[in-house]
Structure 1
Amino acid sequence: MSDRYELYLTCPKSLEGLLLDEARGLGLEEAREHTAAVHGVAELETAYRLCLWSRLANRVLLVLARFPVQNAEEMYQGVHAVDWSEHLSPTGSLAVEFSGRGAGIDNTHFGALKVKDAIVDRLRTATGERPSVDKFSPDIRVHLRLDKGEAILSLDLSGHSLHQRGYRLQQGAAPLKENLAAAILIRAGWPRIAAGGGALADPMCGVGTFLVEAGMMAADLAPNLKREHWGFSNWLGHVPALWNRLHAEAEERARIGLSKPPLWIRGYEADPRLIQPGRNNIERAGLGNWIRIYQGELATFEPRPDQNQTGLVVCNPPYGERLGDEASLLYLYQNLGERLRQACLNWDAAIFTGAPELGKRMGIRSHKQYAFWNGALPCKLLLINVKPDQFVTGERRSSAERAERAERIEAGEAAPVTHEAARLSEGGQMFANRLQKNLKQLGKWAKKAGVECYRLYDADMPEYALAVDLYGDWVHVQEYAPPRSIDPDKAQARLLDALAAIPVALGIAADKVMIKRRERQTGTRQYERHATQGEFLQVNEGGVKLLVNLTDYLDTGLFLDHRPLRLRLQQEAAGKRFLNLFCYTATATVHAAKGGARSTTSVDLSKTYLDWARRNLSLNGYSDKHRLEQGDVMAWLAEDRGEYELIFIDPPTFSNSKRMEGVFDVQRDHVQLIDLAMARLAPGGVLYFSNNFRKFQLDESLPARYQVEDISTDTIDPDFARNPRIHKAWRITLR
């Protein structure tokens, strides 16, 4: 066998340049870069050293043969020609991995099978002994890559991927792979900072991957020192004495490194469930004396090893995949920038983000950016010198200014955008000005009318297609999906501008803003759960208490535009039997009960919303005489024989469910719906019918049979006057 081997080191995409430098430093010769790999030549000692010390590679592949391939048979013959007795005994085990395509081999399973057959046939003995296949713990793992008519046949010296160091048995929801974390630290200059005795802090450390990788670099620990099984462990070409010497050298370096005074390396994590798993990972890595993890929110993050020491702040903020994450992430990045400016002056910072646009909202310029891939997700590493000349925010308000702003907001007055306006873009400033103008106009009306939940903004400026609703001191934001003609990047930038403006303009805490995206809904999507926080907020309206949920569903449980209709029902309900069809959370029912209804019946298909309705009724002390019926409204009406003096119908535009027969379409089905309901209306009774389908047309046959009055104008309060088509409403009685 040759004393020098051709080697391929595979790695995650975007780490090739760093791996090239590392591999050269570990002795790889003639090294050059490929996509997601580095190629070179070296002696077996260097191959072992790469396995032990590479912080960036996934695998170390030792090339056994190269040969041209035009078809499956030629590939079989090329593999069969290798003297496999030098690598594996006839009674051993193997696993085969195949990649690439061509030469009529487009199925990786078929390709791997042909490679396996060639090896087994070559080793089969006269007694019938032959290797077995073991996908999980084979004696050797063989890899064949087919590329442009050439087969590259390799032995995997690594075993399982080198990024699996063995210390991280517990992890969070979206962990970085260990070699990606190492690459980020190297790009951020941590080896240099550590050599100078610098500190490291991660304010969102999860289970501590950055901390452990940083500690291993600082303490000179080989990343795979504790690995017990290697791809070469049972390889017949393995030289144990050589490996044992290298491993002993690494152990001695680790002993020396760990005996040094430890650097200050600290992690902070808000989620208490991750603290112990993170500490367990640190102990398994042998760095219990070097690293500490504490529970703490980002708002309290303040790394101060001593007054003069500086170092590196590194973190991987969440990327946001759920509906409405834009708001929480924007404010998270803003808070991160604020903490860096206030608590980490003269430190370096490395922010790894899948949302680079949010990185621009931190209020600090990055002096360098690197492109990375986290799996299939393109990311950026933002490198920052935390120094005043890099800050892009204005001075912060004093406590007196904040108190004055709060008082003016509470009084329904627009608070001036002062110093903090400096952190808003031109578009954000325009949006803030519009919010304050609306607040000045609507705040006085709301205070006088005793309204605490109302719409402040509804796409007043077309480029900022949002609805902004106030629920007491909370803000609920709905983003209307932009047209396809709008550049998605521009739409995202405008959304972030608007979200940045809301707390500034309204003088509220950023964590009081909730955002959702409102798109064209089909079926029951608008009623589906989007989150599972289960947090309810109690609000007041017209003397009743109602529960809203600003996080879990597209709608909050309270349709603000129907406020005048609900109050009308309350005024007219005294002594009457009230029927609420498509009742949703039964807010209209609570108003009717408040108005003295003799009884109420509320019908909806959703158990979730009927449970919510029951809570609304109980909150106001109503339980008996108030029926909640689960069922398909049309089918329920066809069977009901009750009589009601007051009926309210607010159907969805479109609905389907496994629990209902067919599909409900308000335009197609409203005549049948109203006829069925009018059959239940008592003499002298009133039916109110409303819906928010913009193109809805009331069937002409209905006014011919009933007394129909369009009351839409009378059911629009000032907060929806800018959008008088928000809904249509009719008062219908028997002739």
Structure 2
Amino acid sequence: MSDRFELFLTCPKGLEGLLIEEAVGLGLEEAREHTSAVRGMATMETAYRLCLWSRLANRVLLVLKRFPMKDAEDLYHGVLDIDWQDHMLSDGTLAVEFSGHGSGIDNTHFGALKVKDAIVDKLRTPQGDRPSIDKLNPDLRIHLRLDRGEAILSLDLSGHSLHQRGYRLQQGAAPLKENLAAAILIRSGWPRIAAEGGALADPMCGVGTFLVEAAMIAADMAPNLRREQWGFTAWLGHVPALWKKLHEEAVERAATGLAKPPLWIRGYEADPRLIQPGRNNVERAGLSEWIKIYQGEVATFEPRPDQNQKGLVICNPPYGERLGDEASLLYLYQNLGERLRQACLNWEAAVFTGAPDLGKRMGIRSHKQYSFWNGALPCKLLLIKVLPDQFVTGERRTPEQRQAEREQAAYDQTPDEPQERKFNKNGNPIKPTPAPAPVIEQPRLSEGGQMFANRLQKNLKAMGKWVKREGIDCYRVYDADMPEYAMAIDLYHDWVHVQEYAAPKSIDPEKASARMFDALAALPQALNVDKSRVVVKRRERQSGTKQYERQAAQGKFVEVNEGGVKLLVNLTDYLDTGLFLDHRPMRMRIQKEAAGKRFLNLFCYTATASVHAAKGGARSTTSVDLSKTYLDWARRNLSLNGFSDKNRLEQGDVMAWLESSRDEYDLIFIDPPTFSNSKRMEGIFDVQRDQVQLIDLAMARLAPGGVLYFSNNFRKFQLEENLAERYAVEEISAQTIDPDFARNTKIHRAWKITAR
């Protein structure tokens, strides 16, 4: 065999530039960059060194042959022409990977099969011995890449991908691959910072991938030092003595590096379930003396071991893919920016994010940005120098102001020492100037965000007296008042529930997203609420029962007050909260009219109207709904107010239930869905089509002198005119709209129906 070989080093997309620098440094010659790969020439020693020391490559492929191919027969004979007996035993194991297409081969499985057939046929013995296939741990892993009519046949020296270092047996929900983490550290300047004795902190460390990769770089530890199985282990061209020499050198370098005083490397993770897996990974990597992991929230992490220590803060915040992520992620990035400004002055920071718009919300400028790919997701690495002139939020103080504060603090901390007292011209002692109060930084709002905040505060002030007088603590404070901020905002005691209306297709998605983030940034300040108590949902046109379907499973209920009753709402798990705020006047009307009456609540949802009826002294309440989930919720609402007795809950299809019922009721409330197609129902309920049948069935259950209230929120709904021929029908929509919905009078329509 030749003393020099052609090598292909594969890597994740976006790492090519870094990989070529690393590979040349490890001895690769004539290096050229390709998409997701680097190509060059090397000796066997360099090939081994790349396997052992490359922090960025996925695989090290040693090219065995290049040949032109026009069809599958050319492929077969090109592979057959190699002296395979120089590479593997006839009874060895084999795995083949094929990439590319063309030359009559559009199926990679078929291409791999032709390569395998040629190798097996070449090595088949007269006794019938032949290689077998082992996809997991083969003796030889062969790769053929088809590129514009040329076949490149290679031996995979790495075996399993080099990013699999072997220390990370446990991982979190969205882990970075180890070589991507190493690339981010290199781009962030960590090798330089580590050489200067700097520290490293990851405030969202997960299971510690950044920490381990950083410590291995700092300790001069080969990333694949602990790997035992390689792609060349059973290769007949393997040179064990040369490999042993290189491996022993790497062991000595690691021992020397680990013998140095360890750098200060710390990780913080809010999820307690990830703490022990992270520590286990650190221990398997042999770096327990260098790395410590603690449980802690981003808003409280403290990276500085002392005032003079400098270093790098690095993290990979979540990107957001679930209902309500916008608010929590915005505030997460704001908290991260706040901690950088308060606790990491003069440090450097690196934030790797799939949501760069959120990165802009940290209140601190990045001086460099790099593009990466995390799998198929485009990401940005934001590099930040944590210096006051990079801050874009909060009050800035000059160096002179900061020095004066430090001097005053030193003065205040030494009360027992005799102090030189100064006197004015009248002989009175001059009191020391008190230290200025600490500056509490608030995110500086954009111009649009400030306008939005002003509107919220105006609405809040306008409703203040009404809210206090009515004794409610859940109401709508904003409903798309400003068209460019298309959302509804409701207060539930000390929680904020935001429903973002889907932007029209004519609106630039980036502008819509920026406005949403502006609004979310304004909410805590304008409404004086904690960031953790803001919940965001995206409101789109719903079909069927989608708005009632579960979106999450947090199971967190909040108790709110309305007209003297307590009700449970769930702000996170469903698109709706369990309480339709616009029906508050109707519920209050029912409470006032319910004394001594038998009350029927159809399509009762969480039975909030039934709770009000019971509060008003109803003789009994009956609540009917098809959903067991909502009836359980209704039971909790009734029980919360001490109304468990004489309040019946019925599970069933309302139409069928009415047809079978023979009871009479003095007060009936119907608020049906626009459509319903539950599996338990026969057919589909359509409120426009089925309104007459529904009202006729309900009126048949109404006692003499009774009242039926009917309402719904279908914007195009029209009450059938012939109903007025049989019943006394009065539209009362205007009487059922409270001040918080006065800006949206079409939120629902309501009628009072009685017998003639």
1:555-580 CA-partner distances (Å, limit 9, x unpaired): 11110000000011111111211111
Shift of 1:482: 0.5
- Conserved? CA contact 2:443–2:521, under 8 Å: no
Partner of 2:723: 702
Alignment of 1:467-478 (within 5 A): 467-478=488-499
Shift of 1:548: 0.6
Give 2:356's aligned amino acid. Answer: P
Give 2:203's aligned amino acid. Answer: P
Partner of 1:424: 445
Alignment of 1:501-512 (within 5 A): 501-512=522-533
- Conserved? CA contact 2:142–2:155, under 8 Å: yes
CA distance in 2, matches of 1:627, 1:512: 34
Partner of 1:580: 601
Partner of 1:318: 318
Alignment of 1:244-259 (within 5 A): 244-259=244-259
Partner of 1:155: 155
Q: Does 1:562 align with 2:583?
A: yes
- Conserved? CA contact 1:3–1:43, under 8 Å: yes
Partner of 2:364: 364
Give 2:335's aligned amino acid. Answer: N
1:41-70 CA-partner distances (Å, limit 9, x unpaired): 101111111110000001111111111111
Alignment of 1:589-608 (within 5 A): 589-608=610-629
- Conserved? CA contact 2:600–2:622, under 8 Å: yes
Shift of 1:445: 1.3
Task: Answer with 82-91 or 387-396: which moved more.
Answer: 387-396
Task: Answer with 712-721 or 529-538: which moved more.
Answer: 529-538
SS in 2 for 1:435: helix
Shift of 1:659: 1.9
CA distance in 2, matches of 1:47, 1:603: 74
Partner of 2:168: 168
CA distance in 1, matches of 2:661, 2:376: 56
- Conserved? CA contact 1:198–1:263, under 8 Å: yes
Give 2:136's aligned amino acid. Answer: F
CA distance in 2, matches of 1:330, 1:136: 43
- Conserved? CA contact 1:203–1:268, under 8 Å: yes
- Conserved? CA contact 2:55–2:182, under 8 Å: yes
Partner of 2:706: 685
Shift of 1:631: 1.6
CA distance in 2, matches of 1:395, 1:306: 25
1:272-329 CA-partner distances (Å, limit 9, x unpaired): 1111111100000000100000111111111121220100000011111001100000
Alignment of 1:275-290 (within 5 A): 275-290=275-290
CA distance in 2, matches of 1:444, 1:106: 73
Shift of 1:422: 6.7
Shift of 1:213: 0.3
- Conserved? CA contact 2:94–2:135, under 8 Å: yes
Give 2:447's aligned amino acid. Answer: E
- Conserved? CA contact 1:442–1:719, under 8 Å: yes
- Conserved? CA contact 1:396–1:420, under 8 Å: no
Partner of 1:646: 667
1:79-99 CA-partner distances (Å, limit 9, x unpaired): 111111111111000011111
Partner of 2:559: 538
Shift of 1:707: 1.0
1:241-280 CA-partner distances (Å, limit 9, x unpaired): 1111111000000000000000000011111111111110
CA distance in 1, matches of 2:700, 2:161: 72
Task: Answer with 336-345 or 109-118: which moved more.
Answer: 109-118
Partner of 1:192: 192
Q: Does 1:518 align with 2:539?
A: yes
Shift of 1:33: 0.8
CA distance in 2, matches of 1:151, 1:639: 76
SS in 1 for 2:75: helix
CA distance in 2, matches of 1:83, 1:634: 80
Give 1:16's aligned amino acid. Answer: E
CA distance in 1, matches of 2:660, 2:441: 61
Partner of 1:345: 345
CA distance in 2, matches of 1:140, 1:326: 48
Partner of 1:39: 39
- Conserved? CA contact 1:421–1:429, under 8 Å: no
CA distance in 2, matches of 1:494, 1:464: 6
1:123-147 CA-partner distances (Å, limit 9, x unpaired): 1111111100001111011111112
Partner of 1:439: 460
Task: Answer with 441-450 or 368-377: which moved more.
Answer: 441-450
SS in 2 for 1:440: helix
SS in 2 for 1:220: coil
Shift of 1:448: 1.8
- Conserved? CA contact 1:687–1:732, under 8 Å: yes
Shift of 1:672: 1.6
Can you give the 5+ residue segments of structure 2 that lack an aligned partner in the other structure?
Answer: 398-438
Shift of 1:2: 1.2
Query: What is the root-mean-square deviation of aligned Cα atoms in Å?
Result: 1.3
Shift of 1:420: 6.7
- Conserved? CA contact 2:471–2:564, under 8 Å: no
CA distance in 2, matches of 1:687, 1:602: 14
**If you compute each CA radius of gyration, which structure gives the higher value, 1 or 2?**
2
Give 1:252's aligned amino acid. Answer: E
1:567-611 CA-partner distances (Å, limit 9, x unpaired): 111111112111111111110111111111111111111111111
- Conserved? CA contact 1:11–1:37, under 8 Å: yes
Give 2:40's aligned amino acid. Answer: G
Shift of 1:624: 2.2
CA distance in 2, matches of 1:175, 1:265: 19
Gap change, CA 1:15 and 1:553, over 3 Å in 2: same
SS in 1 for 2:499: strand
Task: Answer with 18-27 or 663-672: which moved more.
Answer: 663-672
Partner of 2:53: 53
Give 2:291's aligned amino acid. Answer: I
Give 1:633's aligned amino acid. Answer: V
CA distance in 1, matches of 2:717, 2:104: 59
Partner of 2:518: 497
Q: TM-score, normalised by structure 1?
A: 0.96
Partner of 1:273: 273
CA distance in 2, matches of 1:526, 1:420: 39
1:347-391 CA-partner distances (Å, limit 9, x unpaired): 000000111001111000000000111111111000000000000
Can you give the 5+ residue segments of structure 1 that lack an aligned partner in the other structure?
Answer: 398-417
Give 1:542's aligned amino acid. Answer: G
SS in 1 for 2:122: helix
Give 1:150's aligned amino acid. Answer: E
SS in 1 for 2:513: helix
Give 2:702's aligned amino acid. Answer: L
SS in 2 for 1:183: helix
- Conserved? CA contact 1:478–1:516, under 8 Å: yes
Partner of 2:592: 571
Q: Does 1:461 align with 2:482?
A: yes
CA distance in 1, matches of 2:101, 2:66: 16
- Conserved? CA contact 1:6–1:63, under 8 Å: yes
Shift of 1:396: 9.1
1:628-662 CA-partner distances (Å, limit 9, x unpaired): 11222222222222221111111111222222222
Gap change, CA 1:210 and 1:630, over 3 Å in 2: same
- Conserved? CA contact 1:432–1:498, under 8 Å: yes
- Conserved? CA contact 1:191–1:218, under 8 Å: yes
- Conserved? CA contact 2:601–2:622, under 8 Å: yes
CA distance in 2, matches of 1:450, 1:600: 24
Task: Answer with 485-494 or 676-685: which moved more.
Answer: 676-685
Task: Answer with 250-259 or 74-83: which moved more.
Answer: 74-83
- Conserved? CA contact 1:420–1:504, under 8 Å: no
1:132-172 CA-partner distances (Å, limit 9, x unpaired): 00011110111111121111111111111100100011111
Partner of 2:20: 20
Shift of 1:421: 7.4
Shift of 1:394: 2.3
SS in 2 for 1:423: coil
Q: Does 1:637 align with 2:655?
A: no
CA distance in 2, matches of 1:516, 1:588: 25
SS in 1 for 2:621: strand
Q: Does 1:89 align with 2:110?
A: no
